[in-house]
Structure 1
Amino acid sequence: MRIGIFFGGPSREREISFAGGRTVFDNLDKGLFQPVPIFVDSLGNFILLDWQFIYKGTIRDFYPPVEVLPPTLHPVQVYIESLGPLTHEQEFHAIAKVGRQVQINELPLLMDFAFLALHGPAGEDGSIQGLLEWLGIPYSGSGILPSAFGIDKVAQKRLLKATGHPTPDFRTITAAEWDTTDHAATLAYLSRELGLPLVLKAPRQGSSIGVSILKEASLEKFEAAVERSLFRKTLTRAEWRRLGEKDQLTWVQHLTDIREGIGLPVVLNDETAPIYHPETLLFTLNERFETAEEIRLTNVDGETQVLVEAFVAGREFSCIVVEDQNGQPLALPPTEIVKGTEVFDYRSKYLPGLARKVTPIDLPEADIQRIREACEEMFRTFGFQVYARLDGFVSPDGQLYLNDPNTTSGMLPASFFFHQAAEIGLNPSQFLTFLIRTSLAARHRGGLRPIKLQQLLAQLDTAVASRKNADTERIRVAVIMGGYSSERHISVESGRNIYEKLASSVKYAPVPVFLTGSAQEHKLYVLPINVMLKDNADDIKEKIEHAEAGHASHPILERIRREAGGITSTYAGQGIAAPHRISFAELGQMADEVFIALHGRPGEDGALQVELEKLGLPYNGSGVASSSVTINKFETNKRLRDAGLRVAEHRMADKLAWQADPAAFYAELEAQFPYPFIAKPADDGCSSAVKKIKTRAELEAFAELIFREQEDLLPAPAEVLHLGFKEEFPQKDAFLVETLISRDGAQHFLEITGGLLTSYDEDGQLDIEVFEASEALATGEVLSLEEKFLAGEGQNITPARYAPAPAERQRISNEVKAVLRRVAEVLDIQGYARIDAFVRVRAGGAVEVLIIEVNSLPGMTPATCIFHQTALAGYTPYQFVDRILEFGKQRQAKIG
């Protein structure tokens, strides 16, 4: 069955939609479905997207294509609406670089079913659903009317009030009222009627956009919150003039961010001519503030009213409700959101670890059942179909409030959507199959092309039954994830991604295995799907410890699994087990091969590989000897320098020397390395605790943190280094110091990351395929973990922009690739790897490549740029993973 996946769109949540569409594309069961990627751009065009662009980190990494971007003085990323009004020919030219424009009447020819991963307006509001109904294409989720209710928070509140459902009290402020009434009087009225704090929302956006909490009766903060929900911003000349030139650019970039700012295009004051491009806005503000005292910027697609709610001081939860096999609502176990801040905003929702998800919410069974029944009743009241995500609060006195139903949930791998489905035993691939089948049944009940849909249902049921019987023939791959390094959460993201790529294939049967313990003892645990899809590595470890202590699963989970038995028996075939520990010998019995998805130690250091070789188990990546070198950045740099390759000047800084005489320790480093320089762990992941050290105070703070005895961070040094929220910092006995690699007068200077893949040629010799490298752009002083690995966070341009002219760019690229190949040869890298480097291009064309580090098990998260590079070489992510596994088997066969 051909599944058209609609993703992207014009909404402010288009990046989450893009990442969710990729999740669906990857996880559709390839034995049942053929995915057809329909990217919807922010102008509303339908584009049959070339598959390689699906694996870009963000929409702006590929669209609009670089060829159609206007020249700018500042390196700002833009969406296509920032190019201003385009002619039909200009739109056609931009689209042709990434795929093919699809006319509406072509859609029925391309697909049998539409899976909607669109968010917000034009995705969840009934409009796309109406179009598909008109075309006779069955689609996922709710129909037109419930979708229209699902997007309109004000209509929702009125319906909840009318039907007697408890919901926080509310008022609305229209934009017209806001512009003509006294703001102080409005604040006083709302404070009197609803009390403080107040929650202000944009009523027709996603649940995380345009949201503020006003804790105090501050007129300034109230006006800012209303403006945030209306997607306006008022700026004074004094505020603008206080910013330096660089800060003004940063301010404009933040303002035009569709997630946290107001987006583009905007109008100034009450003018009608929009400003489309961030740079144009920057120049216009500088020009207007020559005379103006104050300017109001308004997004042309902003809101016309603000929803103001009474704040509920309670425990926040989110619950996915699905239709069971009989078309009745079935609430999955509700998840409590334990936040670091009061607002469960865009970043908290989509970045792992910023907000903790506890499933089920930690309440007595009767209270959880009360939440479930309320959510099921709300599902019926709104007429939702197939699935919905319902949010709410439990107040300290036990009062239950429901709020913000969503007819489309975020579909990232660890989102509520898959997280809760896993609790009844469905992996993402199985859950998507269930949703497609349930959606077909819902459209059939609604009378959409009944004969055709009845045939599709029968075909799918036959195929699902056949697919289950074929599962035992697949190759068993143990996917080992987790670990105990500071990159353990990224390892889990990588491991889940590999698991999902393999689980949706017809060739492999993956088994998730979690590694924990210490350097002295590696502990392996087989994970059930519900534990694998916990929010992060620490949550998984906690669930393992819970099971080892003999605690039974929550009684509400057993109840829900019984209720969902008809679903799981059809799509999963087996119940949920507890995580259980296995030995390496047992691993050898249960797996045909291993995919190591660990980062840092253990995993990249050769220790795990030793154990696997004893068992004769094929594995991915380099062998023991090479891994034991590349994990050590100091030893790696030394070997590369000895081989004539360029590396930074470097040395180790030892804890014993620091303890003996800190002043002498600092002075010796300063004598060899002028500020600024780089300090980082020598044997950890590529982004863990990598800091640009600019002063003696920062050097002292770095040493105090990395040499500390206690596990918790030391607050004062952490503040000096500006450590981010929940940023980890390992404890080590030594750290690596390197000179800061700079432009050094080069005409062009950029940071790159290049991937490679090895295979055996016909003569059995190792062949190294080096991919086109990606240019990595950091928002801070060094690339963060989030920028490297998480969807929508980093900016990676693939292929790297070595030169404007194509022929010259390719010449430089070939020289860079030759150096990366030489690195692989010197270090005996096998399987695959990622090499980070800086590239200088001199005025005369000379190319200098300075190696930073080598990762023998690079991150394999959905957004990592190695997938951008392999796509350019013609490999889908699954094909790349398959090649890695095949090489491991061939290498093991050669060893004998």
Structure 2
Amino acid sequence: MRVGIIFGGPSREREISFAGGRTVYDNLDKALFEAVPVFVDSLGNFILLDWHFIYKGTIRDFYPPVDVLPESEHGLQVYLESLGELSIEEQDKIIAKAGKRLQPNEFRNHFDFAFLALHGPYGEDGSIQGLLEWYHIPYSGSGILPSAIGIDKVAQKEMLKQHGFPTPDYRIINYSQWSEKQNRPQIFEKLVADLGLPLVLKAPHQGSSIGVSIIKELDFAAFEAGVERSFFTKTIYKAQWLAMGEEKQLMSIKQLVDIREGIGMPVQLENGTIVYHPEELFNHINKTFTSSATDSITLTNIEHEQQVLVEAFIRGKEFSCIVVQDEQGQPIALPPTEIVKGSEVFDYRSKYLPGLSRKITPINLPTEQIQSIRQATSRLFTAFGFNVYARLDGFITDSGEIFLNDPNTTSGMLPSSFFFHQAAEIGLNPSQFLTYIIRTSVAERLESGKDTVKLTKLLAELDKSIKEEQAHRHDKIRVGVIMGGYSSERHISVESGRNIYEKLSSSVKYEPVPVFLTGSNEEHRLYTIPINIMLKDNADDIKEKVLYFENGGEPHPVLAQIAEEAETITRKYTGSTLQEPQRISYSQLKNLVDAVFIALHGRPGEDGALQAELEKLYIPYNGSGIRSSQITINKYETNEILGKHGVPVAKHRMAWKEDWQKDKEAFFQSLEADFPYPFIAKPADDGCSSAVKKIKNRSELEAFTTLIFREMEELDTECARTLSLGFKEEFPNKQGFLVETLISRNGAKHFLEITGGLLTTHAPDGSVNYEVFEASEALAEGEVLSLEEKFLAGEGQNITPARYAADPERRQKISDQVKEDLKRVAQILNIEGYARIDAFVRVLENDEVETIIIEVNSLPGMTPATCIFHQTAINGYKPYDFIDRILTYGVERTKMKATV
């Protein structure tokens, strides 16, 4: 069946839609479906997307294409709507660079079924559903009416009341009422009198917690800012703006035009003028404030909300529950998940970056209360006429009262989303759950009485294919995917492992087996884990569950009941039921699998220790061998070896705890004598940007040293503040750290940070061939690339291929030189399988190239958003193809060793 995945779109959630569309594209079962990517741009054009672009980190990395972007003095990123009013011809030229324009009447020539991964207005509100019905294309999820209800928070409130569901008391602020500025203090007073504090402010047609604020105190300024945020308007005050300085002004503009955290573009000025580009806006603000007496500027997004929903705050546990439909059309509420947040609002970052919030499934409550939540959500699913699946959110108070709000007809589809997290509790992996969604949606469209002959045939063919696939499950190569670990990189390791698992589970060749590793350097503890534990929120949650079962814990009674209710679904799509985690030895691992994919980062995994255990038993694995791994895990040793071979590296040295303990002042003076500020300090044997800091002065050096050499697990709050550590940012504890000079332009005409991937294959004579990919140019918002920029969908920007020069021929010539330099590094270090090498590139006046190596990752991150997939796509490898080649190399290497 050809499945058109419709993703992107005009809404503020387009980046989550884009990342979700990629998840669906990669996870559709290749034995059953042909995935057809249909990208919707922010003007609503449908584009049959060239598949290479799916693996870009964000929409702005490829659309609009770099060569149609206007000059931006400050490098401000934009979406298509910032290019101004474009004619159809201009739009067509842009579209042609990304794929082929699709008119809705052409849909049926390209796909038989539409999988909707769109969010927000135009995607969840019945618009796209109506369009598809008009053109006789069956689609996923709810129909037109429930979708229209599911997007409108105000209409939902009325319906919840009508159907007898408790819902927080609320009021509405109309835009016209708010525009009369003199009314605002009275509006605030009245709301506080009616609803009390805290107040919850919401943009009524947005998802992903966009435009949401909580006003906890009698603070009119905070209230005014929160309401403006929900309306997507912003007032900038002259005194504050001029006091910032250019760097902070630019950061402020970036936040302002962000479609998730700010108001987005284009904006309308008070005189009615529309400003499209952030650079134009930046210049306008500066010009207005320096050349006129105006003391403030109010900006309003051209698609601002007309109302703000204000709700009374509910004190209680927050939950989210996915409700699905069985084959008889009856709702089954999956186990509700409790959201434990680090801040008051479960915001965009908390939702989509692993480790920032916790999802506890099922919610930590007595069984009767969990069942009450399930009954309430099932009843709401039926009352609102939802179909196939929905995500229903709410609160339960200490007295047991359940408040439901924000019913959603779709859900985020990132690997960490509730959507997959809860489906795993009935034993469905993401690939199987997507098959369930498609099959149930086709059956639901059949209920509408339209296209009955065509849909009956489509359903029968799909059922036959599902049965045939179950019969051949045991013919596949079994791959143990090892994830987790015990370093500060364990959460990213789990994300990488899940991504590898998911790519393999949708293939016709491999059957992945999730394996969780914990313990210590002295003792690796391996566990096979079922899908529901693998999809827990992060590595710490997985470890907690594994130890619970190891110590004799029983499955939660609610989970056992849901598994029973959903048994017909589970057996149809998996052929089996959920198992408990099992502790295994390396010898038992050998009997379970044909090969291993190590998805660990840092120690253990990249240090050769795990490889040594696998080699004893001739278990094939991915990546470099023992000695190469031992070298590349240590950035100091890597620098030393490369330096001896004449490869440019930063000036470097180790700083040791024992020297610091002996004489702190001498320790600091010695570093300052060798390394003028600013310089880089980082752990020598951790990756993923963990604790990599630009040290600008003595107080930052002291704070960094105190934290990394601390005796306690807790971080000193004053030191954390000095280093501007992010929320829940981990900071490892070490005996030494690496100090490097800050690599700078040094007179080069072009200077950029890059990250380059490579893949190896065996030549007929047994030697190793290196395929080095086009490197990505990494753009950091702050002083160094952050965890979010590397691994969170929609964050950061990686331009692939890197922009070494404007002229294509010169760019390629420079790129070829950089690739040669990276290849030489790989050969010196005896890298095998695949790797990622980070470097700075200086392009000198005569186009001479200097590639300065920062670090070498022998097991690079393999999360869905990582830029290595952008690079492999240029060479024609989809992520699955790349993973397949990595595994094939490992299997061949083991065979060659076994025959020696």
| TM-score, normalisation: structure 2 | 0.99
- SS of equivalent to 2:227: helix
**How far 1:718 sits from its partner (Å)?**
1.5
Higher mean C-alpha displacement, 644-653 vs 706-715:
706-715
2-side partners of 1:818 and 1:686: how far apart?
Answer: 25
Counterpart for residue 875 of structure 1: 877
Counterpart for residue 101 of structure 2: 101
Q: Structure 2: which amino acid aligns with 1:522?
A: H
Matches within 5 A, 1:763-774: 763-774=765-776
Counterpart for residue 42 of structure 1: 42
1:629 aligns with 2:610: no
2-side partners of 1:471 and 1:680: how far apart?
Answer: 46
1-side partners of 2:111 and 2:428: how far apart?
Answer: 25
Counterpart for residue 90 of structure 1: 90
**How far 1:207 sits from its partner (Å)?**
4.6
1:747 aligns with 2:749: yes
2-side partners of 1:282 and 1:396: how far apart?
Answer: 49
- SS of equivalent to 2:440: helix
Q: Structure 1: which amino acid aligns with 2:384?
A: F
1-side partners of 2:39 and 2:30: how far apart?
Answer: 20
- SS of equivalent to 2:845: coil
- Deviation track 1:404-450 (CA, whole Å, cap 9, x = no partner) reads 00001000001000000000000000000001000001100011211
Q: Structure 1: which amino acid aligns with 2:274?
A: P
**How far 1:633 sits from its partner (Å)?**
0.7
1-side partners of 2:460 and 2:550: how far apart?
Answer: 44
Q: Structure 2: which amino acid aligns with 1:198?
A: L
Q: Is the 8 A contact 1:207 1:404 kept in 2?
A: no
Q: 2:727 aligns with which of 725, 730, 733?
A: 725
Q: Structure 1: which amino acid aligns with 2:118?
A: L
Counterpart for residue 605 of structure 1: 607
- Runs of 4 or more consecutive aligned structure 1 residues displaced over 6 Å after TM superposition: none
Counterpart for residue 327 of structure 2: 325
Counterpart for residue 145 of structure 2: 145
Q: Is the 8 A contact 2:834 2:858 kept in 1?
A: yes
Counterpart for residue 258 of structure 1: 259
1:125 aligns with 2:133: no
1:12 aligns with 2:12: yes
2-side partners of 1:286 and 1:692: how far apart?
Answer: 30
Q: Structure 1: which amino acid aligns with 2:27?
A: N
Q: Structure 2: which amino acid aligns with 1:678?
A: I
Q: Is the 8 A contact 1:686 1:855 kept in 2?
A: no
**How far 1:288 sits from its partner (Å)?**
2.1
Matches within 5 A, 1:585-664: 585-664=587-666
1:188 aligns with 2:201: no
- SS of equivalent to 2:472: helix
Q: Structure 2: which amino acid aligns with 1:98?
A: A
Q: Structure 1: which amino acid aligns with 2:227?
A: V
Q: Structure 1: which amino acid aligns with 2:178?
A: W
**How far 1:273 sits from its partner (Å)?**
2.9
Counterpart for residue 486 of structure 1: 488
- Deviation track 1:176-217 (CA, whole Å, cap 9, x = no partner) reads 111236111111111111111111111111151111111122
Q: Structure 2: which amino acid aligns with 1:477?
A: V
Q: Structure 1: which amino acid aligns with 2:502?
A: E
Higher mean C-alpha displacement, 375-384 vs 837-846:
837-846
- SS of equivalent to 1:319: strand
- Deviation track 1:484-536 (CA, whole Å, cap 9, x = no partner) reads 11111010000000000000000000000000000000000001000000111
**How far 1:272 sits from its partner (Å)?**
2.9
- Deviation track 1:616-650 (CA, whole Å, cap 9, x = no partner) reads 11100000011111111111111101111100111
2-side partners of 1:686 and 1:3: how far apart?
Answer: 35
- SS of equivalent to 2:274: coil
Q: Is the 8 A contact 1:27 1:500 kept in 2?
A: yes
Q: Structure 1: which amino acid aligns with 2:432?
A: Q
Calculate the aligned-residue CA RMSD, in Å. Answer: 0.9
Return 5+ residue gaps in structure 2 as ranges: none
1:682 aligns with 2:714: no
1-side partners of 2:154 and 2:377: how far apart?
Answer: 19
Paired residue total: 895
Q: Structure 2: which amino acid aligns with 1:224?
A: A
Q: Is the 8 A contact 2:480 2:514 kept in 1?
A: yes
Q: Structure 1: which amino acid aligns with 2:221?
A: E
Q: 1:421 aligns with which of 415, 423, 426?
A: 423
1:57 aligns with 2:57: yes
**How far 1:686 sits from its partner (Å)?**
4.1
Q: 1:438 aligns with which of 428, 437, 440?
A: 440
Matches within 5 A, 1:477-876: 477-876=479-878
Q: Structure 1: which amino acid aligns with 2:802?
A: A
Q: Structure 2: which amino acid aligns with 1:427?
A: N
Identity of aligned residues (%): 67
Q: Structure 1: which amino acid aligns with 2:480?
A: A
Q: Structure 1: which amino acid aligns with 2:725?
A: L
- SS of equivalent to 1:167: coil
Q: Is the 8 A contact 1:337 1:355 kept in 2?
A: yes
Q: Is the 8 A contact 1:255 1:261 kept in 2?
A: yes
- SS of equivalent to 1:646: coil
1-side partners of 2:319 and 2:526: how far apart?
Answer: 32
**How far 1:287 sits from its partner (Å)?**
1.9
Q: Structure 2: which amino acid aligns with 1:849?
A: T
Flag the 1:562–1:686 CA change in 2: closer, same or farther, 3 A: closer
- SS of equivalent to 1:818: helix
- SS of equivalent to 2:600: coil
1-side partners of 2:680 and 2:342: how far apart?
Answer: 30
Q: Structure 2: which amino acid aligns with 1:452?
A: K
Counterpart for residue 241 of structure 1: 242
Counterpart for residue 198 of structure 1: 199
Q: Structure 2: which amino acid aligns with 1:578?
A: E
- Deviation track 1:770-813 (CA, whole Å, cap 9, x = no partner) reads 00000001111111122112211121000000010001101110
2-side partners of 1:234 and 1:412: how far apart?
Answer: 34
2-side partners of 1:252 and 1:74: how far apart?
Answer: 11
Higher mean C-alpha displacement, 127-136 vs 718-727:
718-727
Flag the 1:873–1:845 CA change in 2: closer, same or farther, 3 A: same
Q: Is the 8 A contact 2:653 2:740 kept in 1?
A: yes
- Deviation track 1:870-893 (CA, whole Å, cap 9, x = no partner) reads 000111110000000000111111
Counterpart for residue 267 of structure 1: 268
Q: Is the 8 A contact 1:773 1:800 kept in 2?
A: yes
Q: Is the 8 A contact 2:256 2:263 kept in 1?
A: yes
2-side partners of 1:646 and 1:345: how far apart?
Answer: 43
1:70 aligns with 2:70: yes
Q: Is the 8 A contact 1:138 1:448 kept in 2?
A: no
2-side partners of 1:640 and 1:354: how far apart?
Answer: 37
- SS of equivalent to 2:689: coil
- SS of equivalent to 2:5: strand
Q: Is the 8 A contact 2:614 2:621 kept in 1?
A: yes
**How far 1:474 sits from its partner (Å)?**
0.2
**How far 1:612 sits from its partner (Å)?**
0.4
2-side partners of 1:241 and 1:555: how far apart?
Answer: 61
Counterpart for residue 215 of structure 2: 214
Return 5+ residue gaps in structure 1 as ranges: none
2-side partners of 1:810 and 1:567: how far apart?
Answer: 52
Higher mean C-alpha displacement, 4-13 vs 665-674:
665-674
Counterpart for residue 365 of structure 2: 363
**How far 1:396 sits from its partner (Å)?**
1.7
Counterpart for residue 174 of structure 1: 174
1-side partners of 2:711 and 2:212: how far apart?
Answer: 41
| TM-score, normalisation: structure 1 | 0.99
- SS of equivalent to 1:647: coil
Q: Is the 8 A contact 1:235 1:294 kept in 2?
A: yes
Q: Is the 8 A contact 1:146 1:384 kept in 2?
A: yes
Q: Is the 8 A contact 2:354 2:492 kept in 1?
A: no
- SS of equivalent to 2:3: strand
2-side partners of 1:655 and 1:355: how far apart?
Answer: 33
- SS of equivalent to 2:715: coil
- Deviation track 1:738-760 (CA, whole Å, cap 9, x = no partner) reads 11111111111000000000001
